[in-house]
Structure 1
């Protein structure tokens, strides 16, 4: 469904709010950062970079490493203070007139566009269609389109061909691939495509490597657009430790580790989905492909609060346009943690719906 911006959604609400200042020790299923990260080798790399803090950051090596990892020229890469900074740069630097955000998805792109003074339209994907993208549903006048792949919070992985079909002359197509490295073989990624007009791919190192506090991500796009975004950045926007982390995460050994993690996530996600399917009160988006799943739960808001009392934090869904309070996003964890959660969910449902 195509709509103009409306609805009282808190676009600035993020998963960390579910555990921040909670006053209780909660098992975190609200934030999608992989547990047990960053790994020891990455912590040592970051720590070693502290010896260079007297010098201004030099991003050339990290930029080259990202370019080599994706097989593109360095001029097509922009390093950013997390993928979130890229949304702000796009909103402020591009003279677009009809931006459209495909929802439900990460809300920061729309928030950044609105903060920059843009009127934002929404395309709301529907559960009955599996929250899947129909390229023909995007109006021709949209000159900036933002879509997540795989999408947060639905965990749906759209076919690369469908996403690329959104491209048009005169349109900027922004594809948020923050969770693509949680997909085995990064299936359906557009990161290495240079033949799609107006394509902008955003990547984050936050989720797989546990670097939310370091703020490091990057943009892949046409060199002219990269230069436009770079001019909108402040000087030295990415710190020396973040640059060291970016370079380290592009090595063959790191990419192999990320791939192994993605395959393990797929196994653990299947276990979580199977467990959730046992509850009559729960309906899941079964085509989940990322490190989280989306579930519709009877009396979801009350169940979420009861889960907190039982020691588990999950992400509320009502801050995502297109969803409501009965939707919950649940991070994929190891089997032991998932089993504990499923037991708590059983108790919560019995208390609320029994």
Structure 2
């Protein structure tokens, strides 16, 4: 099995003076109302944190029982918890996707099989490609880095007795209407969510798990005490309010329009956009991609290399969706390089 740097992420690409198209966090800072709410909680930091209110807020937001919710220090913590709480006989990660699930499984000593989705088929999920004996399966939706949104029906078809299906929905709130989500619940399915991407909270680490009560209890048993900070709990409550959900939907609609603008500009520049992107980023293939990435960096732009994702190579680049002014300037720089 080829080696990949599974711990390489977009934040390694950014640097002083670079315009960031490498990290899939849309807002440069949390909105003012959220910053004010976080600031108002600073006086409570002397007390140990509790996630009781955050759990209740998430449960209400998704129509789940509180026993079916675990608040985590970002969605990434959940991968480590799953790898620690379960002892799969055959763990499978569907690639290309976020690499931390595989990294967490390997760090816990679990062998991992990879199912590589086909670029020629647009990275569409083929449930039949997942081995029937797989008892722990990870898949992203929409998938990072392909931005492909898999049908909920295809995901549900992967669920079966004796198998835990983990669906990483870290970017689902950036899809208008949150279509194809399994957050409402399905037997044998674990859903992971993140507050990082929409609300500009990467530095705070806030996310949660939705699953059956018995799965949540196993994850809670291996979670480090007080791993979720007071401020992360406050942010979780705030971002689950109806007003915040309404704002998130507006941000998702705007991101969709900005993505289509980027895709159109790339196509006009002769750049192949792969798959059918539905998230706030796109995957492209360009000849001599490593050189293009380096030259973009010289021109002042950071983009995400693709060759650390299993199934992709050095000609693949992931581009975060930004506002139209940033996109226009980026496309101008890209055309000079190609």
- TM over 0.5, shorter chain: yes
Per the normalisation by structure 2, the TM-score is 0.99
Alignment of 1:239 with 2:226, yes or no, is: no
Q: C-alpha separation between the residues in 2 aligned to 1:340 and 1:229?
A: 45
Alignment of 1:265 with 2:260, yes or no, is: no
Alignment of 1:77 with 2:69, yes or no, is: yes
Q: C-alpha separation between the residues in 2 aligned to 1:191 and 1:66?
A: 11
Which residue, out of 96, 100, 108, partners 1:108?
Answer: 100
Shift of residue 107 of structure 1? 0.2
Q: Which deviations, in whole Å up to 9, do the C-alpha atoms of 1:44-85 show, x marking residues without a partner?
A: 111111111111112111100000000010000000000000
Q: C-alpha separation between the residues in 1 aligned to 2:209 and 2:99?
A: 18
Which residue, out of 292, 295, 316, partners 1:303?
Answer: 292
Equivalenced residue count is 338
For residues 48-59 of structure 1, the aligned pairs below 5 Å read 48-59=40-51
For residues 304-323 of structure 1, the aligned pairs below 5 Å read 304-323=293-312
Shift of residue 286 of structure 1? 4.8
2:327 alignment partner in structure 1 = 338
1:324 alignment partner in structure 2 = 313
1:352 alignment partner in structure 2 = none
Q: C-alpha separation between the residues in 1 aligned to 2:219 and 2:332?
A: 48
Q: C-alpha separation between the residues in 2 aligned to 1:266 and 1:54?
A: 41
Q: C-alpha separation between the residues in 2 aligned to 1:97 and 1:25?
A: 47
Q: Which deviations, in whole Å up to 9, do the C-alpha atoms of 1:100-124 show, x marking residues without a partner?
A: 0000000000000000001000000
Alignment of 1:226 with 2:216, yes or no, is: yes
1:15 alignment partner in structure 2 = 10
Shift of residue 233 of structure 1? 0.6
Q: C-alpha separation between the residues in 1 aligned to 2:28 and 2:146?
A: 24
Alignment of 1:291 with 2:280, yes or no, is: yes
Greater alpha carbon shift after TM alignment, 29-38 vs 160-169: 29-38
Q: C-alpha separation between the residues in 2 aligned to 1:78 and 1:108?
A: 19
Structure 2 unaligned blocks of 5 or more:
none
1:150 touches 1:158 (CA, 8 Å); kept in 2? Answer: yes
Which residue, out of 137, 148, 153, partners 1:145?
Answer: 137
Alignment of 1:256 with 2:251, yes or no, is: no
Which runs of at least 4 in structure 1 moved beyond 2 Å after TM superposition?
none
Per the normalisation by structure 1, the TM-score is 0.94
1:347 alignment partner in structure 2 = 336
SS at match of 2:148: coil
1:98 alignment partner in structure 2 = 90
Shift of residue 278 of structure 1? 1.5
Q: C-alpha separation between the residues in 1 aligned to 2:225 and 2:28?
A: 33
Shift of residue 201 of structure 1? 0.1
Q: Which deviations, in whole Å up to 9, do the C-alpha atoms of 1:156-186 show, x marking residues without a partner?
A: 0000000111001000000000000000000
Q: C-alpha separation between the residues in 2 aligned to 1:305 and 1:333?
A: 20
SS at match of 1:238: coil
Aligned CA-pair RMSD: 0.8
Q: C-alpha separation between the residues in 2 aligned to 1:115 and 1:94?
A: 13
SS at match of 2:292: helix
Structure 1 unaligned blocks of 5 or more:
1-5, 350-354
Alignment of 1:177 with 2:169, yes or no, is: yes
